[in-house]
């Protein structure tokens, strides 16, 4: 009798121990009792009825999944390979278990199809320059579709766009041409500003002739610093005008009357002393 009671106690203890489950803080448990939804279990130690209840553990942390490279034909008929990464997490554990067979696989697969369909509606230039808006649209579309599964898509990011070699060369030529265009515009603007400043300087020098002379002297000083060399330098107009005024003075005229005789010149010439 005592042995039978002991055996019964041991069997009951094993039955109770076999039904103990530990749920971590970032997990939730979904109970199916005889195939029907029996509620969810919070983190901590819980007990299920062995043989009657089945416990599904659902991780609530954010999941990052790579979307394999997809062949995409853009709206301007360019074939590219695009891969991405999707971030999502479970917000309704019961839906993730009851509404979809494998929510991880289903979400990843739907991200692949959405990537092809949405990128196919954009041109190549839009894919390269408007990634932020494309990521936002992908996130909204995938999140709307996975919401009945209890999945919240927190972000989608395009990782790499693999362009054909011909397209890479064409884009490189286009970028080079754009840089040359900008360089020519900047050079032309610099020439325009320099010519404007030179015109203003010429006006100032024209109003002050002395300033022009000082400018010539400054230039001469700068040239003198260099190595010895022959330099042809224009003479200032002001100096030429001064020489011209000197040449325009009253010319020399022969004095009236007879000049001094030879005897007078000899008499006035100093004689060397005779030793």
C-alpha 204/C-alpha 206 separation (Å) is 5
pLDDT of residue 234: 60
Please tell me whether residues 79 and 157 are part of one structural domain: yes
Q: Among residues 123, 92, 77, 121, which one has the least CA distance to residue 28?
A: 92
Handedness of CA 135, 137, 138, 142 (dihedral sign): positive
pLDDT tens per residue, range 158-176: 888 887 777 767 777 777 7
Q: What is the DSSP letter of 121?
A: T
| Cα 99 off chain centre by | 43
Provide the number of structural domains found in the chain: 2
* pLDDT by residue, tens only, the chain of 275 residues: 677 777 778 877 887 788 888 888 888 999 998 888 888 888 888 888 888 888 899 999 999 998 888 888 888 888 888 889 999 999 999 999 999 889 999 999 999 999 988 888 888 888 888 888 899 999 999 999 999 999 999 999 988 888 777 776 777 777 778 888 888 889 888 888 888 887 777 777 677 666 666 666 676 666 666 655 565 656 555 555 544 554 555 555 555 555 555 455 445 544 444 43
C-alpha 151/C-alpha 88 separation (Å) is 7
Please tell me whether residues 130 and 95 are part of one structural domain: yes
pLDDT tens per residue, range 11-23: 778 877 888 888 8
Q: Among residues 138, 127, 113, which one has the least CA distance to residue 80?
A: 127
In a domain, 169, yes or no: no
Report the SS3 class of residue 252.
Answer: coil
pLDDT of residue 162: 82
Please tell me whether residues 134 and 97 are part of one structural domain: yes
In a domain, 178, yes or no: no
Domain that holds residue 93: 63-163
pLDDT tens per residue, range 29-59: 999 988 888 888 888 888 888 888 888 999 9
Last residue in a domain, options 106, 138, 163:
163
pTM of the model: 0.60
CATH number at residue 88: 3.30.479.30
Last residue in a domain, options 106, 136, 163:
163
Please tell me whether residues 108 and 17 are part of one structural domain: no
Residue 48 near residue 34 (C-beta atoms within 8 A): no
Please tell me whether residues 67 and 159 are part of one structural domain: yes
- Give the contacts of 116 (CB within 8 A, at least 6 positions apart): 70, 71, 72
Report the SS3 class of residue 159.
Answer: strand
């Amino acid at each position: 009798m005592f042995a039978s009671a002991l055996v019964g106690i041991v069997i009951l203890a094993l039955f109770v121990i076999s039904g103990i489950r530990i749920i971590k803080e970032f997990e939730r448990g979904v109970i199916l009792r005889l195939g029907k939804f029996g509620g969810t279990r919070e983190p901590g130690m819980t007990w299920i009825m062995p043989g009657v209840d089945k416990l599904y553990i659902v991780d609530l942390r954010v999941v990052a999944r790579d979307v394999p490279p997809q062949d995409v034909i853009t709206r301007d008929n360019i074939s590219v390979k695009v891969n991405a990464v999707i971030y999502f997490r479970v917000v309704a554990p019961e839906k993730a278990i009851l509404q979809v067979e494998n929510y991880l696989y289903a979400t990843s697969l739907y991200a692949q199809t959405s990537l092809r369909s949405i990128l196919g509606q954009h041109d190549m230039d839009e894919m390269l320059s408007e990634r932020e808006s494309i990521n936002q649209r992908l996130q909204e579309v995938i999140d709307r579709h996975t919401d009945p599964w209890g999945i919240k898509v927190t972000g989608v990011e395009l990782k790499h766009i693999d362009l054909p070699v011909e397209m890479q060369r064409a884009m490189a030529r286009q970028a080079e041409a754009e840089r040359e265009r900008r360089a020519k515009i900047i050079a032309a603007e610099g020439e325009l500003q320099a010519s404007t400043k030179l015109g203003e300087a010429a006006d100032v020098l024209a109003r002050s002739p002395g300033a022009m002379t000082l400018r010539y002297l400054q230039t001469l000083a700068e040239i003198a610093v260099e190595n010895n060399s022959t330099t042809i330098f224009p003479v200032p107009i002001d100096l030429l005008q001064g020489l011209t005024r000197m040449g325009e003075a009253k010319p020399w005229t022969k004095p009236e009357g007879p000049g001094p005789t030879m005897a007078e010149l000899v008499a006035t010439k100093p004689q060397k002393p005779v030793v």
